[in-house]
Amino acid sequence: MPKEHHLVTHFVEHALVSIDNLVEQQREFNAAQALYGDKIIGSEVRVFNETVAQVKEALLQTLEKTAEDLTHKGDKNWTAHFKDGVE
């Protein structure tokens, strides 16, 4: 990605850290609930973790597409991923 667009990369990195923090908070909440005797439903935890993994993958794919569009900016033969453009 061109140096002037590294802000996009930093945003995605910060978003991924925020998601990891959310996962940690959920893990701690589940642990506290288990200590108090509440039954943790494993299938719900699994669905949560799978959904988080899908969101993280989608963010990374969007970053890759954005980088491709930025790299090919001005190339009339390139079919942009994002029709509204990237700046």
* Amino acid letter, residue 38: D
Report the pLDDT value the prediction gives residue 82, as an integer from 0 to 100.
77
Report the pLDDT value the prediction gives residue 37, as an integer from 0 to 100.
92
Report the pLDDT value the prediction gives residue 85, as an integer from 0 to 100.
67
Report d(CA 65, CA 47) in Å as an integer.
27
Residues 59/16, Cβ–Cβ less than 8 Å: yes
* Amino acid letter, residue 17: V
Q: How many CA atoms lie within 13 A of 70 on its CB side?
A: 17
User: Per-residue pLDDT for the chain (87 aa), expressed as one digit of tens each?
Assistant: 667 667 888 888 999 999 999 999 999 999 999 999 999 899 999 999 999 999 999 999 998 888 888 887 777 888 888 777 666
Q: How many CA atoms lie within 13 A of 58 on its CB side?
A: 7
